Structure 1
Amino acid sequence: MLVAALLAALLLALGLAAFFAVAAARARRRHDQALGERGWLLERERQQAASGAVAAERARIARELHDIVSHNVSVMVVQAGAAREVLALSPSAVPPDVAAALAAVEGAGRDALKELRHLLGLLAPAADGADAADDDFAPQPGLDGLSRLVDRIAFAGLPVDVFISGDPKPLPAGIDTTAYRIIQEALTNALKHAQAARAEVSVRYTERSLRIEILDSGGPDRPRPPAGTGRGLLGLRQRVTVYGGDFDARRRFGGGFRVRARIPLDAP
């Protein structure tokens, strides 16, 4: 009887062990499956956020393109119209083809502005689906506004040292705005994410390119986007790529962050 009882107890223990082993294996599989689904959802959300950031940056680039191109075309239209009116004061001294050509230039310029406005509505529609108003297109910033940007950042709590080297020269409007946006985004990130103690901006003009570097000294550990993958950084990388340049953003050894960009000044 004793042997039978011991045998029954042993079988019961083995059965319970097998049951708990199977239950644990099932729980582990469910846990792994849940982690996999969560990781997939997080990756999907990250990709959607990145795509949204790129789309938003494209919309902003489209608006800046409108401002730059429409300004130049508007100047052409005004000049053509003024020249036509001046020539009309002495029509006998001017071949009729000249006045007709100026009128054609003026008309083509006005048509180009209308088409540009229409295309902008397709690339960057307003939230309510309406076309953007002319008042929405304020002059875009450039490196001539760098000192004001630095003053605002310093007032917010981040001292910034600025170094300009090389021979400063007038830049194409798009490159000028892109350079400003790179510095603006890097300093804003340093102020917002890193609480850096200090930052440094270097702008170097060379014969063939514009080189920009922004360094921050870092601060208390806080969540920050992985190097080169922040939403703003994705947009900047796209901007620089448009001009055939190079863009790099990464953490520095010993703390802090570094953003570098090289933008060719000749046509890509």
Structure 2
Amino acid sequence: MRAFALLWDSEGVWELVVAAVACLAAAFFAVRLVSARRAYARAVEERGWLLERERESAARGAVDAERARIARELHDIVSHNVSVMVVQAGAARRVLGSDRAVDALLAVESAGRDTMAELRHMLGLLAPSADSDELLEPQPGLSRLGALVDKMCFAGLPVDVRISGEPRPLPSGVDLTAYRIVQEALTNALKHGDGQKAEVLVRYADHHLRVEVLSTGLKGVSTSDGEGRGLLGLRQRVAVLGGDLDARRRLGGGFRVRAKLPVEGP
């Protein structure tokens, strides 16, 4: 004990103790600092990886959405025009040798030309070239409703059209969707109906556009529940625009497609 007390009272012992504690403290904080920097570097690396994954996911989502849009466009184009071609080809087969055969075959040719023109438009959007603008035709809208109705009437489906309100220019998405709704509904009526008649109602209001297609008879079942591929595509189109679409059987027979599309006021 006496030796320990003498050592404790020796000159410089306190300085050694303080120096040792200071070294230990410095080492401790150095280790903590290095550990914190490594953790920060890992967090930055992980955040960069997550951001890259999010960018890749967003890019894939954009590509998938664009592919879905193009698939709906191609379905609308091919389904409508080829359906008309099939109906007219059947008519030509049944009346081959008569004057009506020539008219039916001309209708097939016209529908085929329309299909090729719209497919060129879609392919031009997928792979535009320097001179592709000259080959592209504008997307259809309600301005082409008369030509669509004439084609359906010639194919054997009488169609009445009623337009109310003050017609005005529409946003391109609304205009195209309205046309596709009428096109899909009339095509289904031509394929699955009894060929009696169809009615198209278009109403321009201040803040929305209403489109309704009524058809009589329904021989097939693919559209009886309003969930065919074409109608599903229309539902997606209308939903993107913030509108509503209802498709169902009519109580008195036939089918009804009704849509409400929001538009800006005049």
TM-score by length of 1: 0.51
Partner of 2:202: 203
Aligned-pair distance for 1:222? Answer: 2.8
Query: Is the contact between residue 158 and residue 195 of structure 2 (CA under 8 Å) also seen in structure 1?
Result: no
Query: Is the contact between residue 243 and residue 263 of structure 1 (CA under 8 Å) also seen in structure 2?
Result: yes
Partner of 2:82: none
Change (3 A) 1:263 1:197: same
Partner of 2:254: 256
Query: Percent identical across equivalent pairs?
Result: 56
**Matched residues in 2 for 1:182 and 1:226: separation?**
16
Partner of 1:218: 217
Q: What is the aligned length?
A: 149
Amino acid at match of 1:168: P
Partner of 1:187: 186
**Matched residues in 2 for 1:251 and 1:226: separation?**
6
Question: Which secondary structure does the structure 2 equivalent of 1:149 belong to?
Answer: helix
- For each residue in 1:162-199, what CA deviation from the matched residue of structure 2 results, as whole angstroms up to 9, or x when unmatched? 00001111111111111111000100000011233100
Partner of 1:59: 70
Question: Which secondary structure does the structure 1 equivalent of 2:145 belong to?
Answer: helix
Q: How does 1:7-22 map to 2 (within 5 A)?
A: none
Q: Identify which of 239, 244, 247 aligns with 2:245.
A: 247
Aligned-pair distance for 1:226? Answer: 3.5
4+ residue runs over 6 A deviation: none
Question: Which secondary structure does the structure 1 equivalent of 2:174 belong to?
Answer: helix
Query: Is the contact between residue 246 and residue 262 of structure 1 (CA under 8 Å) also seen in structure 2?
Result: yes
Q: How does 1:22-171 map to 2 (within 5 A)?
A: 58-59=69-70, 131-132=127-128, 134=132, 137-171=136-170
**Matched residues in 2 for 1:178 and 1:59: separation?**
14
Change (3 A) 1:61 1:174: farther
**Matched residues in 2 for 1:57 and 1:158: separation?**
30
Aligned-pair distance for 1:249? Answer: 0.4
- For each residue in 1:88-107, what CA deviation from the matched residue of structure 2 results, as whole angstroms up to 9, or x when unmatched? xxxxxxxxxxxxxxxxxxxx
Question: Which secondary structure does the structure 1 equivalent of 2:192 belong to?
Answer: helix
Change (3 A) 1:175 1:154: same
**Matched residues in 1 for 2:209 and 2:239: separation?**
14
Query: Is the contact between residue 57 and residue 235 of structure 1 (CA under 8 Å) also seen in structure 2?
Result: no
Query: Is the contact between residue 156 and residue 195 of structure 2 (CA under 8 Å) also seen in structure 1?
Result: no
Aligned-pair distance for 1:254? Answer: 1.9
**Matched residues in 2 for 1:265 and 1:169: separation?**
11
Amino acid at match of 2:69: R
Aligned-pair distance for 1:56? Answer: 6.5
Q: More relative contact order in 1 or in 2 (CA 8 Å, sep 6+)?
A: 1
**Matched residues in 1 for 2:70 and 2:225: separation?**
24
- For each residue in 1:128-152, what CA deviation from the matched residue of structure 2 results, as whole angstroms up to 9, or x when unmatched? xx83553664211111110000000
Q: What value does the CA root-mean-square deviation take over the aligned residues? A: 2.6
**Matched residues in 2 for 1:186 and 1:222: separation?**
14
Change (3 A) 1:254 1:61: closer
Partner of 2:173: 174
Which segments of 5 or more consecutive residues in structure 1 lack a partner in the other structure? Answer: 1-53, 64-124
Change (3 A) 1:259 1:162: same
Question: Which secondary structure does the structure 1 equivalent of 2:221 belong to?
Answer: coil
Aligned-pair distance for 1:263? Answer: 0.2
